[in-house]
Each structure stands twice: as C-alpha cells, then as structure tokens.
Amino acid sequence: MQLEKTIAGVKAQVQIWKKEGLSVGLVPTMGYLHEGHRSLIDRAVRENDRVVVSVFINPIQFGPTEDLESYPRDLEADCRLCEDAGAALVFSPEADEMYAPDFSTYVDMHRVSEELCGKSRPIHFRGVCTVVSKLFNIVTPDRAYFGEKDAQQLAVIRRMVRDLNMNLQIVGCPIVREADGLAKSSRNTYLSAEERKAALVLSRAVQTGKSMILDGEKDGDKILAAMKEIIQQEPLAKIDYVEMVKWDTIEVHHKVDGPVLTAMAVYIGKTRLIDNFIIEE
Ligand code: AMP
C-alpha cells in the first residue's frame, strides 16, 4: 500500500489506474481509524478495483472553540488498518498542501446544512463540502463512501453531488457500534471511564425512539420527548439537540409518515457526541 502526502502524487497514481480501466473508490476520513471506518473501507474494497482512503483533519470545518488541536492522530496505525483492509493508497496531506495561504473558494450550502449540527456548528458543513469537493477533484472516484453515523453530512454530500452535477456515486453505510451500543467514534477516546458509561444514554435514547416507531408510534413530539427524558436523567449529559427531520431534505418534521432521520448531539462532559437512526419507509 502506498502513502501519499502530495496532491500531484495521488493524481499521477489515479491516472495510471484509470488508463488501465480500473474503478476507484474513495473513503474520506479524519483518521484515528476504528471499525466504523473499516466497514466503509471493506465495502469500498468489495465494490472497486482500487481504494483510496484520505486521512486529513480538515481545519476549515472546525469552529474556533472546537477540538482541532486535540483531535486524536495515529497515522501509522491508520496505515496498518488500511493495508490490512486492502486499500491501495492512503492520502494524508498536510494542511498547507490542501490550502494555499490565499485560498479563497468555498462550497457553501443552504437548508440541508442549516438544521441539526448546522445550528451549533455554523461553518462546519461549508468546510466539509469544500474539502470533500477538493478530494473528489483530486481522486476522481467512481464511488465515495460515507457513514450514516454522520447522517446529516451524508445528506449534505448527496445534495452537493446532485446540485453540482458531480460524476460519482455516493454510498451510505450503517453505523458500527461498540458491544454495549455506543456508536464508534474517534472522539470516544476523550471520555473518562465515568463519562464512557454516561455516554450510553445516546444509544439508549436511539433504541427507545426506534422501538416506539416500530410499535406504531407516528407522533414525533412523543418520540422526541421520550428520548430527551432518557438523556436528561443522566447528570453528565447535556443536550445540544434531539430532533426529527425529513431524511432527504433535513427539514424539521415531527411525524413518521415517510423517511425520517431522528438525530441528536449530546455533550458528555466536554465531549460532544452524535447518534441517530433512520427510518426509511
Ligand atoms: P471521521 O473520520 O469521523 O470524519 O469519519 C469518516 C467517515 O467514517 C464518515 O463518513 C463517518 O460517517 C464514518 N464513520 C465514523 N464513525 C462511524 C461509525 N461508527 N459507523 C459507520 N461509519 C462511521
């Protein structure tokens, strides 16, 4: 497996593959890879001749008070995981390789990016859309893989690809969880032992919401109230949002009468965790 730090190096390699008629899959990540990322890479390896994993902590998607500096990093372990999974290339550029000092072009989006995480992270999706567009231009993949763990991000990317006529397929992959239900996340490493236990309120709320819907409940207000009650019982947890939206447009919608996303962001101590479930009807 090849490790590339430069855009030119990636482009040269992809060009060789394309000349050979090989298909290319891309898995964009911020590194510190775990089994959630691994599930995306595994699927990409099954569906493409060559797989590129990008490992890049994208500074422009972090707000001024967020965890850019402390975000966990371990490129060696990431490369081992990628090689073991059968990826062909890891692209891990430095920030100055991706952003010239006078960088001035952004991909911005309205509506889909404005609810849920967009409210508390106002510049986040602009940063995500911009870096993902750049990665698509650099790697020119046939398919790109994103986790439903970041469900709004997946909806945002799908909308960007549709709106800007980008020529690739976006593949969404289910959430991978720890044995006790906590959604796997690089940010789980921030949690103390006590917080790790408290963090289970997110997946418990997800389970409760899901079972209410499977039992026939259609009233979003009742479902959200039950979920919030579970989280509020945990003293270490502070709700950022618990919300139900239409799955494709991310408009607030408190009725289960079509595909809906029920998503939450909850602080456990200082760590902001997200979780969700999707009902595709
Ligand atoms: P990140 O490195 O956190 O930016 O995540 C990179 C990609 O992996 C995103 O598409 C995430 O949605 C996906 N991902 C992260 N955690 C999980 C998980 N537990 N299950 C499935 N996909 C995940």
Confidence at residue 87, expressed as pLDDT on a 0 to 100 scale = 99
State which of 108, 142, 173 marks the end of a domain.
Answer: 173
Could you list the beta-strand ranges (E) of 131-259.
143-147, 169-173, 237-246
186: Cβ below 6 Å to ligand 1? Answer: yes
* 55 falls within a domain: yes
Question: Exposed e or buried b for every residue in 94-112, given b needs 16+ CB within 10 A?
Answer: eeeebbeeeeeeebebeeb
134: Cβ below 6 Å to ligand 1? Answer: no
Distance 28 CA to ligand 1 centre (A): 9
118: Cβ below 6 Å to ligand 1? Answer: no
**Is 208 in the same domain as 73?**
no
Q: Which domain holds residue 268?
A: 186-275
Calpha distance 128→152 (Å, rounded)? 11
**Is 27 in the same domain as 91?**
yes
**Is 50 in the same domain as 167?**
yes
**Is 30 in the same domain as 169?**
yes
State which of 107, 140, 173 marks the end of a domain.
Answer: 173
**Is 160 in the same domain as 209?**
no
The ligand 1 atom nearest the CA atom of 146? 10
Which amino acid type is present at position 115? E
* 211 falls within a domain: yes
Q: pLDDT by residue for the chain (281 residues), tens digit each?
A: 999 999 999 999 999 999 999 999 999 999 999 999 999 999 999 999 999 999 999 999 999 999 999 999 999 999 999 999 999 999 999 999 999 999 999 999 999 999 999 999 999 999 999 999 999 999 999 999 999 999 999 999 999 999 999 999 999 999 999 999 999 999 999 999 999 999 999 999 999 999 999 999 999 999 999 999 999 999 999 999 999 999 999 999 999 999 999 999 999 999 999 999 999 97
Which residues lie across from 170 on neighbouring strands?
144
Confidence at residue 281, expressed as pLDDT on a 0 to 100 scale = 79
Active site residue 253: no
Instruction: Decide if 90 contacts 64 (C-beta within 8 A).
Output: no
**Is 153 in the same domain as 56?**
yes
Confidence at residue 267, expressed as pLDDT on a 0 to 100 scale = 98
* 181 falls within a domain: no
* 179 falls within a domain: no
- Sheet with 143-147, edge to edge strand ranges: 2-4, 89-91, 50-55, 24-29, 143-147, 169-173
Q: Is the dihedral of CA 156, 159, 163, 169 positive or negative?
A: positive
Residue 141 — φ and ψ, nearest 5°?
-75, 155
The ligand 1 atom nearest the CA atom of 149? 12
Instruction: Decide if 9 contacts 88 (C-beta within 8 A).
Output: no
Reported pTM: 0.98
Calpha distance 280→199 (Å, rounded)? 26
State which of 143, 173, 203 marks the end of a domain.
Answer: 173
**Is 96 in the same domain as 202?**
no
**Is 23 in the same domain as 157?**
yes
**Is 158 in the same domain as 258?**
no
Q: How many domains does the chain have?
A: 2
Q: Which of 32, 39, 40 to mutate to test the pocket of ligand 1 (most atoms within 8 A of CB)?
A: 40
183: Cβ below 6 Å to ligand 1? Answer: yes
**Is 108 in the same domain as 151?**
yes
* 126 falls within a domain: yes
Residues 6+ away with beta carbon under 8 Å from 80: none
Name the residue with the closest Cα to ligand 1, atom 7.
Answer: 29
184: Cβ below 6 Å to ligand 1? Answer: yes
